[in-house]
Chain A
Amino acid sequence: MEATAKKRFKKIYAHTVLIIASIIFLVPFIWMVSTSFKPITQVFSFPPEFIPRPFQWENYIEATQYIPFWTYTYNTAVITGLSTLGVVISCPIVAYSFAKLRWRGRNMMFAITIAVMMIPAQVTMIPLFLLFNQFGWVGTNLPLIVPAFFGVPFSIFLLRQFFKGLPDTLREAAKIDGASEWRIYWQIMFPLAKPAILAIALFQFMASWTDFLGPLIYLTEEASYTLSLGLQQFQNQQGSQWHLMMAVSTMMTLPIIVLFFFMQKTFINGITFTGIKG
């Protein structure tokens, strides 16, 4: 009896702590959503009000007309979709060869991979810009997509740890049955690594979807802009269109929230299983 009472107290206590902390974390977000429904005059009201008066859902329509919203959404979706696909194709196979195959130079290559993770992107940014400029890629979305097909060190590292955790006996059994290395990878290892692959896919999705510096450098034509760049257009000489900007921000955030909510368990498991321990 006493144990259940103690348990119940613990649960109430936990929920109280969680709810208070949640509110702190939610307030700015709720503010973003509520501002997105306000008339511009109410945005400046003081003291600040949470409830829009009147509730202007037309802001959303106006926002999509103020900037070429659908074009930007399409551009962002293409870049995000293709670079995520690239990472899913390239990283697992490279990680698998680091984790399970024995080849000369493997350890050295892996050490280099770890070292590369520590190089700030700014060091390679300028030569890459010049390289892509020579390819004639500046102004297109290729610089934001193609590199993903050649692997991302952080994701390779995370996946390698995952594959390391899978038993070798699986591979040996398949080998005895005469399976080729490619078949072992594609039909056994790849499906088993799904949670970790999902995790790196989500990381890449988020990074691409919200990327600012990359598009800022490479996208020169307004017609090829992404949503991140488009957001800046709500700030101009005539003043800032706060309410419209918040409407676009809300629309940008929504798909990732839904994605994360439904995948968070797989996501966390994907990282857990790999362990960051090394």
Chain B
Amino acid sequence: MAQLETNKPPKVRVNKRRSNENLTGWLFAMPWVIGLLLFFGYPLLSSMYYSFTDFSILQSGEFIGLANYRELFQDDLFWISIYNTIYFAVFFVPLSIIFGVALAMVLNMKVKGMAVYRTIFFLPTLVPHVALAILWVWLLNPQFGLVNAMLDFVGIQGPPWLGSTFWSKPALILMSLWGIGQAVIIYLAGLSDISQEYYEAAEVDGATFLQKTFKITLPLLTPVIFFNLVMGFIGAFQQFTLPYAMTNGTGTPADSLTFYVMYLYDNAFSYFRMGYASAMAWILFLIILVLTSLVFWSSKKWVHYQGD
């Protein structure tokens, strides 16, 4: 069949086919092209414009240049929310990677009943975040809570957790770590992608478990770790539902749980300062952009792709 077709002038056919595929390609991608323009492009540009205006829902914006940005830098709560957010990200992201990889390695063993185990570890991510927040407020209650009761059981005097400005963020990190199931699933996928031949070869050479872990598993898992690192940073900087639901939007005690997006949300939808909130959103975008660029830049040094 294919050979018979070469009788026809090839150039015309190729061109016709190509333009056909051009049209079909665009048609197939059309939903997303429209979505991209409508739900990302347009809002992105208008949000940038709003950030330079004094814009509230009630009055349309007046152009005020950089005034929103200038005001932000003098806004104490802005700096507090940045500090809280960075504190959370700096501790949570590395911890979630260490625990996530370790957990995925355990869940990758070949034993009976693995479906049940995997479901158990994934369970916390299935609990609605609002419910999860409320549940943990209860678990961390210094007087009645289960966590301190268990610490008491082993002879440790538990901290006041959400009752103190010092312990409220560690408490949030602790409960966030409980929900690393989604990252673990992605690590698991990465682990099952690693060819068994590497391990067989290493076993022939008498490699120990630790050698196999550090020389085979971890290097080959770096692309997935990289993916989760980027996603982890983006997610950590957008922390909202847990602290919002735990504190009823107040960020108590003493704003120690006021996170960046919570303050942004308040400005936009409680005080209706849409211009101010837009400026905050763009600063958040820049922070995430710089951080992910750093991760991308460093990735050349530590991410190994299979077959490289």
Q: Are B186 and A265 in contact (CB under 8 A)?
A: no
Choose from B33, B39, B145, B274 the contact partner of A48 (Cβ within 8 Å).
B145
Q: Are A28 and B25 in contact (CB under 8 A)?
A: no
Q: Are B135 and A246 in contact (CB under 8 A)?
A: yes
A238 within 8 A of B: no
Measured between beta carbons, the chain B residues less than 8 angstroms from A151 are: 31-32, 35-36
Q: Are B237 and A11 in contact (CB under 8 A)?
A: no
A78 within 8 A of B: no
Measured between beta carbons, the chain B residues less than 8 angstroms from A93 are: 28, 31
Chain A 163-200, CB-CB to B under 8 Å as 1, else 0, gives 00000000000001000010001000000000000000
Q: Would A103 and B26 be within 8 Å (CB), given that A120-B234, A235-B134, A261-B115 are in contact?
A: yes
Q: Are A90 and B185 in contact (CB under 8 A)?
A: no
Q: Would A124 and B47 be within 8 Å (CB), given that A118-B288, A176-B2 are in contact?
A: yes
Count A-B contacts at CB 8 Å.
274
Measured between beta carbons, the chain B residues less than 8 angstroms from A60 are: none
Q: Are A126 and B268 in contact (CB under 8 A)?
A: yes
Choose from A25, A97, A112, A126 the contact partner of B278 (Cβ within 8 Å).
A126
Q: Would A123 and B31 be within 8 Å (CB), given that A14-B109, A46-B149, A103-B24 are in contact?
A: no
Q: Are B117 and A18 in contact (CB under 8 A)?
A: yes
Choose from A14, A119, A235, A268 the contact partner of B111 (Cβ within 8 Å).
A14
A1 within 8 A of B: no
Measured between beta carbons, the chain B residues less than 8 angstroms from A256 are: 126
How far is the CB of A133 from the nearest CB of chain B, in Å?
8
Measured between beta carbons, the chain B residues less than 8 angstroms from A275 are: 189, 193
Measured between beta carbons, the chain A residues less than 8 angstroms from B288 are: 118, 120
Choose from B32, B145, B264 the contact partner of A122 (Cβ within 8 Å).
B264
B305 within 8 A of A: yes
B118 within 8 A of A: yes
- With both beta carbons as reference points, the residue of chain A lying nearest to B226 in the complex is identified as A276
Choose from A119, A130, A228 the contact partner of B285 (Cβ within 8 Å).
A119
Q: Would A227 and B237 be within 8 Å (CB), given that A90-B31, A118-B289, A123-B284 are in contact?
A: no
Q: Are B238 and A253 in contact (CB under 8 A)?
A: no
Chain B 124-138, CB-CB to A under 8 Å as 1, else 0, gives 111111110011101
How far is the CB of A264 from the nearest CB of chain B, in Å?
6
Q: Would A103 and B21 be within 8 Å (CB), given that A118-B289, A227-B128, A264-B122 are in contact?
A: yes
B79 within 8 A of A: no
Q: Are B131 and A32 in contact (CB under 8 A)?
A: yes
Choose from A35, A45, A249, A260 the contact partner of B119 (Cβ within 8 Å).
A260
How far is the CB of B308 from the nearest CB of chain A, in Å?
11
Q: Considering the chains assembled together, what is the distance between the CA atoms of A48 and B254 in angstroms?
A: 28
Q: Are A127 and B47 in contact (CB under 8 A)?
A: yes
Measured between beta carbons, the chain B residues less than 8 angstroms from A213 are: 240-241, 265
Q: Are A181 and B238 in contact (CB under 8 A)?
A: no
Given contacts A119-B44, A212-B128, A245-B134, 10 further A-B contacts (CB under 8 A): A31-B138, A116-B40, A123-B285, A151-B31, A151-B35, A209-B128, A229-B130, A231-B128, A275-B189, A276-B186
